[in-house]
Structure formats: structure tokens, C-alpha cells
Amino acid sequence: MTAGTALLIVLERSDMSRWWRIAAFPLWAMSALGFLQAWARTCVVLAMQGRCDAETGRTLSADEAAALRRRGTVIMRRVVLVALAVTVATLALP
């Protein structure tokens, strides 16, 4: 989040076109991913693999693995929506 804010300040002070603010999208997405994973207490990489814990190697049932994959998918959708919303909001700034 700090890197995205710093990038916006640099772009604003250098009188760059407002469309250059789109370059901050990956920074907003990474920030949202960190916050949303922590909030959901779910690692998206492990969720997409259908695993719960990388260290214990505990085997999940097919239903549990599918539910975990769905949770990972929901988190990634939210990441994209949050990053898009913040990017659009930054484009609206003067």
C-alpha cells in the first residue's frame, strides 16, 4: 500500500498523465491480497491446491478441498475488485 501511494505521489508531482496511475494496479492488488488473506486466515496458494497446511501434509476430504478452493477463488475475486475500485478512485483524483 505504501508503494502504491508513493507511486501516486511521484506521478502527481512529475505532472504525468492521469492514465499512468493505472500502473499502481499491481501494487493495490498485492496489498489487497495480503489483507484479504490475513482477514480470511487462508493462504490462497494452498487453497487453490486444495491443501490446508503445507507443513503437516494432512489430507483433506474431497468436499473439504473443494470448499477450500472455492474460498481461494472468492478471495482472488475480491482482490481484483478491491484493486479495480482503488485504481478507479485514483483516476478520479485531480
Predicted confidence band of residue 7 (pLDDT cuts 50, 70, 90) = confident
pTM of the model: 0.81
Q: Name the DSSP class of 24.
A: G
**Half-sphere exposure (CA, 13 Å, Cβ side) for 65?**
10
Q: Which three cell numbers stand for residue 48?
A: 487453490
Nearest of 66, 19, 71 to residue 40 by alpha carbon: 71
Q: Domain segments of the chain: what residues? A: 2-92
How far from chain centre, in Å, is Cα 2? 14
Segment 11-63, tens digit of pLDDT: 888 888 888 889 899 999 999 999 999 999 888 988 888 887 766 667 788 89
